[in-house]
Structure formats: C-alpha cells, structure tokens
Amino acid sequence: MEDILGKSVGHYRVTRRLGSGGMGVVYEAEDSKLGRSVALKFLPPDLAQDSQSLERFQREARAASALNHPNICTVFAIEQHERQHFIVMELLEGKTLLQMMGRQPFPVDQVLDLAVQIADALESAHAKGIVHRDIKPANIFVNPRGQVKILDFGLAKIEGLRREGAPGGGEVSQLETLVARDELTVPGTAMGTVSYMSPEQARGQLTDARTDLFSVGTVLYQAATGQLPFAGETSAVVYEAILNRDPLPANQLNSALPADFVRILDKALEKDRNLRYQTATELKTDLFRFKRDHLDSGRKRTGEGDSRGTSPRPAEKSIAVLYFENLSGVKEDEYFRDGITEDIITELSKIKGLNIFPRPTVLAYRDRPVTPQQVGRELNTAYVLGGSLRRAGNRLRINAQLMDARTDFPLWSERYDREMQDVFEVQDEIARKIAEALRITLSPQEQEAIAVKPTENMQAYDLYLRGKSHLRRVTRQDLEFALQMFEGAVALDPDFALPYAGIANVCAQYHYHYEREVKWMERARAAATRAAELRPDLPEVQVAQAWILYAEKHYDDAVRRAREAIGRKRDCEGGYYILGRALFASGRYQDIASVVDAAVEACGDDYNVYVPIMNALSALGKDESARNVRQRRVTALENHLKQVPDDARARAHLAGDYVVLGRQEDAVREVQFAVALRPNDGNLLYNVACVYCNMNRKPEAIDALRRAWDAGLRDADWARRDPDLAMLHGDPEFERLFPETAPGS
C-alpha cells in the first residue's frame, strides 16, 4: 500500500500512522466535512483481492456500526476511494489491554472496573445477535480515563441481520445473506486467537454468546494473576489445555484475590458451556454483587466508615464540589454562580488523579447549610470544596476552601478579589492549588487543558451563561431569549466557540418544535460549522450537531454524535437528552433502558433527560423502573422550580408526575400555572395534552394537542410513539394531526 501520509482520501486528510495488524493499517485523519479527528482502517490491497478477507473487513464495519455503546469503538462509515477499502472509526487515545499487561497482576478494583465495562458492552452486542468471537487483550482498548473500548468485530457472528431501513421482505445484499447465515465461517473451522478460545471454538463447533464469556474469563484471569490460564509452547499444547486441563486456582497465583472473585473466574472458564455464565447480564450481575460486597468487606477489615459502620472507605482523592454561595443577594445572579461552580467542576475533572462527583450529585446541597463531615458521610467523599462569590459591578470576590470531610480540617483556602475578566485565571488557580494540596503532579497536557480559556471577553461569557440557563427550558420564548444572548456573545467575541454551538442548538430545536422553515436549519448548520472550526474538540459542539441531525430525522447519526459528546464529557449539557430523544424516535427503547443509570448520574438535574427515559421504560413495560425514575424526576423538578419558579415546561412535567402519584389537585394547579406562563407555546401545550390524557380527560387533551399543532409542534414520529398519548390513537382529530408514517418512507 502506497504511503498516504499528508494526502487526502476523499474528504479525509491523513495526518499520521497509528499502527497495523493482520487485517489492516490504521491512520489518524481529519474529517474536513465535520471538523473532527477520526481513525481510518485500510484493508491492504493484497487482501482486497481476496473475497473472504474483504467480507471479513466489511463484516467488522457492519457489526460495529450496528452497535451504539460507550464501551464499543464507534464505526462511522465504510468507504472506498480509488479501489482502497477503509473503515472510518472513532479515534481513540490510550493503550490496548495487551500493552498494559505484564507479569504482575492488576489490582482487584481495576480488574473489576474493566470486567464490568466489558460485560456491559457484550450485553449490548449479544442483545443485537452479535457474538464477537475474538475477545482478547489486543482487542480491548483502555483510554486515559479507564474507559474500555472493544475493537475488531472482524470475526463476529451476526444473527438475524437485515439492512436498516429496508421494509420487511425487502432485498438484502449477498454479504448480508452470508453474514446472517454465518457462512463466512463454518463448523469445523476454529476462529479466534488460540490462547483466548473457548472449548467449542477449539473444536470448530458452532458458537454463541457463551463463547465470548469464556474468552472474557480468560482475559480477566490473566489480568488478575499476570498469567494465562491455558498456556503452552505450541498451539497444539494450548488447544489440549483448553479442552482437557483446569487452570491453577487464581488465588494460588495472586493471594490477594478474594474467594468470591475466584468463583466468578471459575464459572466463566467452565468448559461445559451449559455450566458457564449463560449471558453477559448474569456475569455483570455477579460482578456488581461482588463489587458491593468487596467494598463492604474492605471497610470491615479496616474498621473505617461512619459511626454506624455502614459506609465503605471513600476514594482517596474524591472531591465533592459544592455550589458556591451567592453573597450578592441578587436572584438573577444565580445563573452566574451556577456557571462558575460548574466550570470549576469541569476544570477539576480534567485532572486524572482526582475523582470528582458529577453535578447532579452535589446539586442537592445547593443553598443548604451543611458541614463537610455531613457531605462526606452522605456521599462517601474524602474532600469537600466549598466557597462563596460576590459580584459587584466589574469586581468579583471568590472565597474557596478545600476541607477534609472526615475531620472538617481545611487543607487549603484562598480569597480572590479580582476584576471580572480574571475569573478564568481564578478557576485555573483553584484547580492547580487543589492538585498541589493533594500532592498530585499535573502532566503538561493537564496543565495545558486547565489553562485554556473559552473567551477573553467576560461580557461575552456572561451572555453565554445567561443563554445557557434558558436553553433547557425549550419554550419558544426561552429559546428566543437564549438565541439573543448567544448572538450577543459572538458579536462581542467572534472567536468564542460555545455560543456558536448554542446558536446551532437553539435553531435546530426552534425548527423542530416551532417553525419548520429552512432558514432555521441553515442558521443551525452555519453556526455549527463555525463552532467546529474554532473548537472541534468541544462536546457542546457535538451536541449541537446531534440536534441538527435529529431535526433532519437522521436518528442513527444523531445517536453516534451524542455518544461522542458524552464520551468526551459525560455530564455535557443536553448530551444524554438528545441521545435519548434520538434513540426513542428510532424505536430503540432497550438502548435507552441500558443507559438510564449513567444518564441520571451524569445529568439528573436536567429534567429534560427524563422525558425519553420515562417514555421508553413505559413502552417496554418496565413499570417498577419507571416508578423509581419518576420519583427521581419529581425531586429534580421540585428542586429546579425552587430556583426557577417561572419555568413553565418544568411545571407541566411535574403536573404529569403528580397525576401518576395520585395528586390530582396539585397536577391541575401546576397545569394551570404553566399555561398562564406560556399560553401559546406548542411544546408546553403538547405536555399539557399528555397530562390531560393521564387524567382521562380526552376533550381537554385533544384541544391542547390541536393548539400545540397550530403553534408549530408537528412531530408525528414522537407523538405516535409517546405512551402518554396512547388513548388518543384512532381519534379522528389525532389521526388528522399526526398521521401514521408509511413504512420505508
């Protein structure tokens, strides 16, 4: 294959070679269309002439692209340029597990963390009928944050595959037929890497999900002990060991391994697949149970925890950053206080040695008189960062204090009395001082990341924070105000990427919810392009791009873009919300159910994130899970309305929850209050219609829905899938407003 470094392949400019393997050469490239870095995996020309190799290469792309999971490497496309076949993939930073492994075992907690992520990824793949069949350390990538990414589905077995979007009974390609029937590999042929094969693979028998679980057991055994369970000088010796010999008990090689974990390894490595773990879910459940019990037993051994002996020992460098107290006394300043606090959380999250609690976890303590010991006891954190700020004209005074949560002893404190324009230097210094107090040495990359300023213009930053505080409310009036703020910010600083992303987000949502006019999408795309030119690394830019794709009904692409944003910043504003909407609109309810815990942990303070979650759980009949999530949403909504009482959309959602909880009078009060605040808002009226449906008041529901339609909310895909509106199906007016989309259209 010719040297393509520095050259363009289609709209990808190749920048460096990353590595090579038996099935391809991988390069880093810049996607000029979307302004992002990607990895390109090329099939060598000699293999491109071999039909089996080409089919395996295409199989890898099709299998991985069918999966959207944070622990599986995302495949964006498979393309061909001048007879060169290549896969466009997510660009990863870090090492493979093979590169990380040596003769020494990993700590038990690290093995557990890896194991849970691998099991979770395989649970998702197996649910779609995809068996990897080549799980090994070289195909497990770990990024600097410890996140696992499973690679290389080239040997995957794919059952029941049908071209996405094709109507039932439609034509499928020859490759799809081969893959669906698994005719690229046949019984009698051993597939995979010898040391990590299951007994059924070694015999060349038919494989299923349990095959992957045996390979996972092999990988975990090696990570936990530093040795392979089945080793030998030749392949024949390894085959014989896999088929006939039991490995040494793992705790003979590593005495630190608890007996319960050894039992998990033994069950995963059962030669009889009927006695092995039957599903990845079963394995994951045992891992979670062990993780819980392991932490408890560790506490009992050390005698640590609270006075009742019920809390495990907190992570050594875990910090809960509390919302700073707003001393100005001006309610309107709270968006600024919240923005500064959340930026400090973001800055500290850039430091690898710190474990920072996500925003929703600490939100419950906002404006509450609590002690560091109380927070430490309730959150099981080692340290608490608190403080206050006062804004007066162009001056800003910030007091910050890092406390030991066990003793209430201050490790570090500082008072800053600066000009407003110095706020980013203050945030930078706070992050550095905390790292210094905890004896963490910042890498050059971390120092550089912390030093990056979003803008030099504090007035532009203030306008951006104002706009951001209104964006999640979604009503027409709030979106128009947010757009005004974002446009004001870029007028002051044309190189400020975040408000450009905000403009793109607002315009896409405005088009989707209120005015289906081309001008809104044109403005959204132009702003997103400018944001990506300035800061392609920002997850907020990817969230805006996901909204544009969603508004254009490119749901799978929207899902991929949202997952990219979450991968870069798990609590990115709006990330899980647009991910859930896109998954729901495409009918992928189970995929939503699989990310509920992660979404609520990262973004549970944003009441919007619960909308697709509740709808999906209801559609799946997961009533108990829906009840639990609903209670968390009620808490989030009630807390939010204490801070923002004029949020009409929040009141409509709270009314819907009150109906389900049997609080009819409270529900009516909230609905009436919401409509009084925004009487002609389509999005709000849609939610009011849902509330009336749940109260079994069909005439009021139809009336509210008609008014919502007149106000511009006309998404039939969402309305027909929404379980809250199920009682309206078949009603002539509902069918007129939201006709059923023809299959394949």
Burial class (CB within 10 angstroms; exposed 0-12, middle 13-18, buried 19+) of 394: exposed
Domain termination residue (choose one: 32, 66, 90) = 90
pLDDT > 70? residue 309: no
Same domain as 256, residue 333: no
Is the CB of residue 214 less than 8 Å from the CB of residue 268? yes
From 47, 218, 215, select the one nearest 132 (Cα to Cα).
215
Same domain as 335, residue 222: no
Provide the CATH number for the domain around residue 354.
3.40.50.10610
Amino acid in the structure at residue 597: D
- pLDDT, tens digit, for every residue of 445-479? 889 888 888 999 989 998 999 999 899 888 888 89
The answer to whether position 386 is within a domain reads: yes
Is the CB of residue 447 less than 8 Å from the CB of residue 428? no
From 194, 256, 203, select the one nearest 225 (Cα to Cα).
256
pTM: 0.54
Which range is least confidently modeled, 47-51, 420-424, 457-461? 47-51
Which range is least confidently modeled, 52-56, 561-565, 594-598? 52-56
The answer to whether position 250 is within a domain reads: yes
pLDDT > 70? residue 691: yes
Report, as an integer, the average pLDDT of 660-669: 91
- Looking at residue 46, its pLDDT comes to 60
The answer to whether position 621 is within a domain reads: no
Percent of the chain with pLDDT over 70: 86
Same domain as 48, residue 99: no
The answer to whether position 378 is within a domain reads: yes
- pLDDT, tens digit, for every residue of 317-348? 899 999 998 887 666 678 888 888 988 998 89
Residue 157 three-state SS: strand
pLDDT > 70? residue 744: no
Same domain as 180, residue 114: yes
Same domain as 397, residue 260: no
pLDDT > 50? residue 393: yes
- Looking at residue 156, its pLDDT comes to 54
d(CA 3, CA 15): 11
The answer to whether position 523 is within a domain reads: no
Burial class (CB within 10 angstroms; exposed 0-12, middle 13-18, buried 19+) of 510: buried
The pLDDT confidence band at residue 693, using thresholds 50, 70 and 90, is very high
The answer to whether position 492 is within a domain reads: no
- pLDDT, tens digit, for every residue of 233-291? 888 899 899 999 999 999 999 988 998 999 999 999 999 999 999 999 899 888 888 87
- pLDDT, tens digit, for every residue of 347-386? 898 898 889 998 888 888 887 878 888 898 888 899 999 9
- Looking at residue 176, its pLDDT comes to 31
- Looking at residue 743, its pLDDT comes to 39
- pLDDT, tens digit, for every residue of 510-567? 999 888 899 999 999 999 999 999 999 899 999 999 999 999 999 999 999 999 999 9
Report, as an integer, the average pLDDT of 416-426: 84
Same domain as 414, residue 328: yes
d(CA 482, CA 504): 11
Percent of the chain with pLDDT over 90: 40
- Looking at residue 181, its pLDDT comes to 31
Same domain as 269, residue 390: no
From 97, 100, 65, select the one nearest 79 (Cα to Cα).
65
- Looking at residue 5, its pLDDT comes to 81
- Looking at residue 698, its pLDDT comes to 95
Same domain as 186, residue 148: yes
Q: Which residue has the higher pLDDT, 155 or 392?
A: 392
CB atoms within 10 A of CB 592: 24
- Looking at residue 708, its pLDDT comes to 92
Same domain as 263, residue 364: no
494 to 53, 104, 338, 463, 491: CA distances (angstroms): 49, 53, 24, 13, 6
Which range is least confidently modeled, 193-207, 290-304, 466-480? 290-304
Provide the CATH number for the domain around residue 123.
1.10.510.10
The pLDDT confidence band at residue 187, using thresholds 50, 70 and 90, is very low
pLDDT > 50? residue 308: no
508 to 19, 563, 578, 690: CA distances (angstroms): 39, 18, 12, 24
Provide the CATH number for the domain around residue 12.
3.30.200.20
The answer to whether position 381 is within a domain reads: yes
> What range does the domain containing 425 cover?
318-451
Provide the CATH number for the domain around residue 678.
1.25.40.10
Same domain as 273, residue 242: yes
CB atoms within 10 A of CB 484: 15
Domain count, the chain: 4
Summary mean pLDDT of the chain: 84
- pLDDT, tens digit, for every residue of 15-38? 988 877 655 788 898 988 777 788
Domain termination residue (choose one: 259, 293, 327) = 293
The answer to whether position 280 is within a domain reads: yes
How, if at all, do strands 8-9 and 24-31 pair?
A: unpaired
Domain termination residue (choose one: 90, 119, 148) = 90
Tokens of 168: 């039932």
- Looking at residue 63, its pLDDT comes to 59
- Report CA dihedral (229, 234, 237, 238) to the nearest 10 degrees: 30
- Looking at residue 718, its pLDDT comes to 86
Report, as an integer, the average pLDDT of 719-723: 90
d(CA 347, CA 460): 20
Same domain as 274, residue 133: yes
Q: Which residue has the higher pLDDT, 374 or 314?
A: 374
- Looking at residue 745, its pLDDT comes to 35
Strand ranges, E, within 489-604: none
Same domain as 108, residue 220: yes
Which range is least confidently modeled, 78-87, 164-173, 391-400, 695-704? 164-173
> What is the phi-psi region of residue 655: left when phi exceeds 0, alpha when psi lies from -120 to 50, beta otherwise?
alpha
Which range is least confidently modeled, 59-73, 407-421, 644-658? 59-73
